[in-house]
C-alpha cells in the first residue's frame, strides 16, 4: 500500500490517475448523489489532498493558526478578488430591472429594427442587459417581454427567445462582472480590461452565429406557443414614468468604460495624475461602486424611488449570490489542492507532451467538465485550477492570458443538457419540451461555444 501511495504521489502517471479519480469523485457526488457542487468540491478536494500527500497541518492548519491552511487560502484568495465585483454587479442589474430600464431598451431596439427585426432586437437586448444582469435573472426579467413580442408578431416563441438567450449566455460566459470570467481572471492574474476586450472580440461573432443565424433559422422551424399563464419571479418594477434610454445606456456602459480606461491608460499614458486617476476609477470594485451609486441616483432617487425601496431591491437581489460565491471558493480550494499535490503540473505536462496547444487543452478540459456535470462555473474554476501552475510558469502576455480565459469560458457553455439547471429554466419559461429544448437551446450553446473558441484560438495564434 505504501509503495502504491508513493507511486501515486510522485509518478506522472500516478498523479494523472489521482486527478482522474478526484474529478470522477467530484462528478459522482454532483451528478449521482445530488450533493451541492460547493460541498462536493470541498469533499473531493480534502480527499485528493490527503491521498496526494498533503499533511493535515498544511491542509487545515492548527487550532491556533489557520491562516496558512490550504483550505483557507484556497477559499480566501479567489473570494477576495471576486466578491465585491459579483455583489456590485448584481445590485446594478437589479436597479436596472426595477427601474423599467430593461423594457425601455427593448422598445427602442424594436423601433430601430422594425417588427420583422424584432428577433434581432431581442438578441441585442439580451447582449446589452446581460452585461450587468445574471443569466437566470435575465430570463426571469425578460421572459414577459419575449411573450409580448411573440404574441404581437404571431410567430413561434422560440424565434424571439433564442436570440435573447444567446445574448444573455455570451455575456454571462465571457464578460465581467459575471463569476466565471472574473474567477478565471483571478486565477491567472489577468486584467479585467483585457477580459472585456477579448470577451467582446470573441463573444460578438459567437452571439451572432448562435443567436441571430442559428436562433432565427431553428426558431422559425420549431413551433412553440406562448404559455397560457405569464409568470414573473421578480419584484414588479416601479409605476413611475420609464427612464430615458440614455440614462439606461450610461448605467450599463459606465463600469466597462472605466475598467477599459484603466487598462489602456496604464499602457499608454505617462506617469502623472491622469494615469493615477484612471487606474483608481478603473479598479473593478471602484468602477462598479461608482456605477451603482450613479444608477441609484439616475434610475432611482432622481425619479422618485425612495431609498427604502432601493434598499429592498438591493437586499433581495443579493440572496442568490451566496451560493455562487461558495461554488467559486470551493472550486478555488479544489484547484489549490491540485496545485499542491502536483496534479496540475502533471496534467499540464501531459497535455504538452500530447502535442495539444495550451489553448486547445484549456478548451477540451473545460468542455469535458461542462458536459459531465452541467455547471459552467464549476467547469471554469476546475479547469483554471488545473492549468494555473503551467500558466504561472509560462511567459504569457495579458492578451494571451485573456484569450485562454475565453477558451475556458467557451468550453464551459458547450452542449447544455439535462444536467444543467439553465436547461430546465429555459424549457419551463419558454414552454418547450425536452426534445425541442435539445434541438434549439443545446445546439445554440454548442454553436456559441465552438465559434467563441474558434475566434479565441485564431487571435491567440495571431498575437503569439
Identity of the highest mean pLDDT range in 222-236, 273-287, 338-352: 273-287
Cβ proximity of 414 and 446 under 8 Å: yes
Mean pLDDT, to the nearest integer, of 334-362? 78
Which residues, including other chains, have CB under 8 Å from residue 64's CB and lie 6 or more apart? Answer: none
* Res 234: pLDDT: 36
Predicted confidence at residue 162, as pLDDT, reads 96
CA–CA distance from 84 to each of 171, 183, 185, 288, 429 (Å)? 19, 12, 15, 9, 30
Q: Is 226 exposed, middle or buried (0-12, 13-18, 19+ CB in 10 A)?
A: middle
| Mean pLDDT, rounded, for 271-296 | 91
Place of cell 450553446: 445
Per-residue pLDDT averaged across 38-56, rounded?
90
More confident residue, 11 or 402: 402
Task: Identify the band that residue 348 occupies on the pLDDT scale cut at 50, 70 and 90.
Answer: low
Average of per-residue pLDDT values in the chain: 86
The Cα 422–Cα 441 span in angstroms is: 10
**Of the ranges 28-32, 253-257, 340-344, which one carries the lowest mean pLDDT score?**
340-344
324 vs 288: which has the higher pLDDT? 288
What does residue 392 show for φ and ψ, rounded to 5 degrees? -65, -35
Q: If DSSP codes are grouped into helix, strand and coil, which group holds residue 136?
A: helix
pLDDT, residue 197, reads 95
Q: Specify the pLDDT at position 70.
A: 86
Calpha distance 285→89 (Å, rounded): 9
Distance between CA atoms of residues 339 and 438, nearest Å? 37
Return the closest-CA partner of residue 376 out of 183, 137, 214.
183
State yes or no: pLDDT of 426 exceeds 70. yes
Q: What pLDDT is attached to residue 191?
A: 92
Identity of the highest mean pLDDT range in 154-158, 205-209, 302-306: 205-209
- pLDDT above 60 (res 52): yes
- Confidence class of residue 349 from pLDDT cuts 50, 70 and 90? low
- Mean local confidence (pLDDT), 276-300: 92
pLDDT of residue 290: 94
pLDDT at residue number 239: 63
- pLDDT at position 237 is 45
Return the bridge partners of 62, or none.
65
* Cis geometry, peptide bond prior to residue 159 (ω within 30 degrees of 0): no
Q: What is the pLDDT of residues 183-211, one digit of tens each?
A: 999 989 999 999 999 999 999 999 999 99
- Residue 232 binned pLDDT confidence (cut-offs 50, 70, 90): very low
65: helix, coil or strand?
A: strand
Confidence at 440, pLDDT banded by 50, 70, 90:
very high
Separation between Cα atoms, residue 443 and residue 166, nearest integer Å: 11
Average pLDDT (265-278) is 88
Residue 231's pLDDT band (cuts 50, 70, 90) = very low
Q: Scan for cell 478565471, then name that residue.
A: 184
State the average pLDDT over residues 401-423.
91
Q: What is the pTM of this model?
A: 0.77
In this predicted structure, the answer to whether residue 374 has a pLDDT above a threshold of 80 is: no
pLDDT tens sequence across 243-253:
988 998 898 88
Instruction: Over range 4-10, report the average pLDDT.
Output: 79
Which of 138-147, 224-233, 430-439: highest mean pLDDT? Answer: 430-439
d(CA 309, CA 322): 22
Q: Which three cell numbers stand for residue 340?
A: 499542491
* pLDDT for 456: 98
Least confident interval from 94-103, 155-164, 186-195: 94-103
Cβ contact 51:5 at 8 Å: yes
Distance of CA 104 to the CA centre of its chain: 25
Query: In the predicted model, is pLDDT for residue 240 greater than 80?
Result: no
148 vs 370, higher pLDDT: 370
User: Is residue 184 within a helix (H) or strand (E), and if so which, with residue range?
Assistant: helix 179-188
C-alpha cell at 303: 425619479
203: exposed, middle or buried (C-beta count within 10 Å: 0-12, 13-18, 19+)? buried
Total residue length of the chain: 464
Alpha-carbon gap, residue 188 to 173, rounded angstroms = 17
Q: Highest-confidence range of 94-103, 285-294, 353-362, by mean pLDDT?
A: 285-294
Average pLDDT over residues 45-55: 90
- Whether pLDDT at 77 is above 80: no
Amino acid at each position: 500500500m505504501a509503495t502504491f501511495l508513493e507511486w501515486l504521489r510522485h509518478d506522472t502517471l500516478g498523479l494523472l490517475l489521482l486527478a482522474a479519480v478526484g474529478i470522477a469523485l467530484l462528478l459522482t457526488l454532483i451528478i449521482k448523489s445530488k450533493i451541492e457542487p460547493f460541498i462536493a468540491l470541498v469533499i473531493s478536494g480534502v480527499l485528493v489532498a490527503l491521498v496526494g500527500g498533503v499533511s493535515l497541518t498544511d491542509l487545515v492548519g492548527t487550532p491556533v493558526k489557520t491562516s496558512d491552511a490550504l483550505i483557507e487560502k484556497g477559499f480566501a484568495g479567489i473570494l477576495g478578488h471576486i466578491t465585491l465585483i459579483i455583489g456590485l454587479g448584481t445590485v446594478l442589474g437589479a436597479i436596472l430591472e426595477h427601474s423599467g430600464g430593461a423594457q425601455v431598451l427593448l422598445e427602442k431596439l424594436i423601433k430601430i429594427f422594425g417588427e420583422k427585426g424584432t428577433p434581432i432586437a431581442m438578441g441585442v437586448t439580451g447582449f446589452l442587459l446581460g452585461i450587468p444582469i445574471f443569466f437566470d435573472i435575465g430570463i426571469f426579467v425578460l421572459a414577459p417581454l419575449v411573450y409580448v413580442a411573440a404574441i404581437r408578431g404571431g410567430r413561434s416563441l422560440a424565434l424571439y427567445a433564442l436570440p435573447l438567450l444567446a445574448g444573455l449566455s455570451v455575456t454571462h460566459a465571457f464578460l465581467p462582472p459575471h463569476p466565471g470570467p472574473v474567477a478565471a481572471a483571478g486565477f491567472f492574474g489577468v486584467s479585467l480590461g483585457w477580459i472585456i476586450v477579448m470577451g467582446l472580440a470573441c463573444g460578438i461573432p459567437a452571439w451572432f452565429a448562435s443567436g441571430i443565424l442559428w436562433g432565427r433559422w431553428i426558431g422559425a422551424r420549431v413551433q412553440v406557443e406562448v404559455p397560457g399563464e405569464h409568470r414573473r419571479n421578480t419584484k414588479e418594477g416601479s409605476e413611475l414614468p420609464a427612464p430615458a434610454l440614455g440614462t439606461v445606456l450610461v448605467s450599463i456602459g459606465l463600469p466597462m468604460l472605466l475598467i477599459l480606461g484603466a487598462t489602456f491608460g496604464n499602457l499608454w499614458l505617462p506617469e502623472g495624475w491622469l494615469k493615477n486617476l484612471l487606474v483608481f476609477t478603473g479598479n473593478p470594485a471602484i468602477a462598479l461602486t461608482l456605477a451603482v451609486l450613479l444608477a441609484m441616483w439616475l434610475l432611482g432617487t432622481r425619479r422618485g424611488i425612495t431609498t427604502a425601496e432601493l434598499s429592498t431591491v438591493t437586499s433581495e437581489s443579493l440572496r442568490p449570490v451566496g451560493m455562487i460565491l461558495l461554488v467559486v471558493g470551493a472550486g478555488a480550494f479544489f484547484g489549490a489542492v491540485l496545485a499542491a499535490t502536483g496534479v496540475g503540473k502533471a496534467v499540464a505536462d501531459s497535455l504538452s507532451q500530447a502535442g495539444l496547444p495550451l489553448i486547445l487543452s484549456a478548451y477540451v478540459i473545460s468542455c469535458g467538465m461542462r458536459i459531465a456535470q452541467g455547471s459552467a462555473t464549476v467547469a471554469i474554476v476546475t479547469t483554471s485550477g488545473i492549468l494555473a501552475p503551467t500558466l504561472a510558469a509560462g511567459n504569457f502576455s495579458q492578451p494571451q492570458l485573456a484569450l485562454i480565459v475565453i477558451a475556458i469560458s467557451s468550453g464551459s457553455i458547450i452542449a447544455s443538457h439535462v444536467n444543467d439547471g439553465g436547461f430546465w429554466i429555459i424549457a419551463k419559461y419558454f414552454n418547450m419540451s425536452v426534445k425541442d429544448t435539445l434541438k434549439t437551446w443545446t445546439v445554440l450553446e454548442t454553436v456559441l461555444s465552438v465559434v467563441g473558441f474558434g475566434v479565441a484560438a485564431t487571435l491567440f495564434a495571431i498575437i503569439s
